[in-house]
Structure 1
Amino acid sequence: MVTEIGQHAMLLDGVTFSGGEATLQHRFLAQVFTALRREPNCEHLSVLLDSNGLLSERHWPELLRQCDGVMLDIKALDNGLHRQLTGRSNVRVLDSARQLAQANKLMELRWLVIQDVNDTAAELEGLIELIRGFPHPVPLRLNGYRHHGVRQQGKQWPETTEHRLSELIAYLRAQGIEAYSGQL
């Protein structure tokens, strides 16, 4: 993999590791990151990671030594709502967000907005409080929920309209949050 990236490196600015949850293979990723940093053709490449934040706190330092930054997904700030949406607690996700921000490696926080489900006033206030607690400003990318590619259970939730995303972005910006839409 590193050899192939090196062969095309002159055409690239960087590489992002994503798909499923890349950090499930954190040991392998650490080896790949190290190999990329040692490859002369790849010295100029940024190395980013896309994550849902469920990686244990103890495994982040090894990845962050070789990684330029992480883009982290947030589904809900309320733990009960997060469990309803994902079947898991959000404690690790929020701990990861804080740990990455503290290490100045949180490049972007991503919020999957499910209209009328996780876009409540309480969720917005929790999100604002989280971001304001970071030592450095972190951009917030809002992605509208879509039914494409989701399991049957996920089709029960409404899709998010562009209008709702625009309302949320305006509100967040008025609160001093660097927010933008990830919609195409």
Structure 2
Amino acid sequence: MKILNLYAGIGGNRKLWGDKHKITAIEINPKIAKIYQDFFPNDKVIIADAHQYLLEHYKEFDFIWGSPPCPTHSRLALSNSGRDEIKNKYPNMKLYEEILFLKYYFKGEWVIENVISYYNPLIKPFECGLHYYWSSFIINNIRIKSRMHTETIEELEKFKGFNLSNYNGIDKIKILRNCVEPEIALRIFKMAFKDKQTKL
């Protein structure tokens, strides 16, 4: 199966998918892309804009997972809006552009993940922990213990399953917090390909 992993980060969502598939990862930050490639040497890693890559290459894949940037949607963004040093920003609507594009143009299975937003979502998602998921299939309830992002680097490394001790010049806390929890991503991945999966 050919998989497109958009906004790949260091590969939290992909960590437990195994190596039986042809996975193409798109990450715009070269340093983060290098870390991803180190952890997943068999994947094809492309340094590019994921939003544009999706538009140009979606027909080449069977399954697409996207985790677009979340800062402009997060409740943290709203709570920080009164601080003088914070410049408010419009919510980045590329999130919804990709959801609508995949829903109406892509013939395979797909998932878009983002944080729970400070506003009512414009398209109804599935909710799990601190995240929203939009998909081409029904995501059944996944019960997990909610984790606030207050862990140390070491705790996050253990929880997410990545050791970043050999890497310098990066924001390790941010990178690890941005990782989709591997166990959740695996369960959702399996839901996409269950026999007789109910389509939306």
TM-score computed with the length of structure 1 as normaliser: 0.37
> Which has the higher Rg, Structure 1 or Structure 2?
1
Q: Normalising by structure 2, report the TM-score.
A: 0.35
